[in-house]
Amino acid sequence: MVPEPPPTLRLDVDAAALAHNWRALDRLSGAAAAGAAVKADCYGLGAARCVPVLRDAGARDFFVAHWSEVPTVAAHIPPGNISVLHGALSAAEAQYAISAGVKPVINSLYQARLWLEAGGGACDLMVDSGMNRLGIRPEEAGDPLIASLRVDVLMSHLSSADEDAPSNARQLETLRALLPQVRHRRASLANSAGLMLGPAYHLDLTRPGLALYGGLPRAELAGAIRPVARVQAAIIQRRVVRAGETIGYNRTFTAQTDLPVGIVSLGYADGFLRSWGKSGYLLKDDCRLPLVGRVSMDMVAVDLTRAPGLAEGDFLQVPFDLPPAAEATGLSQYELLTTLGRRFAR
């Protein structure tokens, strides 16, 4: 059988940078241990690739959102080190957690009852300290169901850690007030941004996510965090667009002179949305090649005037330094990572 051709899209994960970032965040966690949020397929970079790197760097606590994410992560670390943030929503999910040996994060009295009725065991407990997302309300902490749980990590989540907002201190105070009320082994509050709010927020365990993968939720992290992802796409056709002709959907670009253009294998399903357009560009080494016309489903066009030697099959680099890419596109750094599609050779 003829081998499958190599993809025209590449996503290179810099394992050394990923390990460096975890170690840097662990150091910044002070006396607390740093875990690793590996949900959303390690923020789009591939759990099968990233989890072993994080494990070997020293991470011991791993957080996913969905039960479907468990098998990939559990292939590389002990199941008891995995927490599922959405918790057990049914008896079947609770039984799966017990059989797999992973911890559900209990988010409500309903989930607490399900877990105990299934036989229980070690779990984590989320407290809603003011974000109004997941978690029990503080006044529910004294419920007998909560007292019956065997809580490993008592946690909450900061809503505005990337800002110097008064709510950060209020959330910390809310969680601290519950520490004597709920039996637990460890406490956790800070995400990547929360690490930079100071030692008071570190507690026993921090839960970095975005910064592991090269994101900078706060400017103070700039010197400590390295880019992890390198995204490339191939030119699949080189053509000359004549003066007066237009390019792409809705003919938004008109060539003023004869223009050498590269059609690049990159589009919506690869996380390259129309918001990359207008002032966007791709790179050949340090040479910027402006986008021309709209991103059109699976393709984008670039002006090759400054790179006359490029041809079909040559790869261009997407400028994937996350903070400036977020500013240029209007997408969050989280969106830039997690919308990377499945068509990349990783």
Catalytic annotation, pick one of 39, 43, 201, 284: 39
Cα dist from 36 to 40, 60, 245, 248, 265, whole Å: 12, 8, 51, 42, 33
Q: What is the DSSP string of 116-155?
A: HHHT--EEEEEB-SSS-SSSB-GGGTTSHHHHTSEEEEEE
CA 207, CA 221: separation in Å to the nearest integer?
15
Q: Is 39 a catalytic residue?
A: yes
CA 291, CA 302: separation in Å to the nearest integer?
4
Q: Which of 134, 34, 117, 133 is nearest to 125 (CA)?
A: 134
Q: Is 278 a catalytic residue?
A: no
Catalytic annotation, pick one of 103, 213, 249, 281: 249
CA 212, CA 1: separation in Å to the nearest integer?
40
CB atoms closer than 10 angstroms to residue 221: 22
Residue 134 near residue 88, CB atoms below 8 Å: no
Q: List the catalytic residues.
A: 39, 249
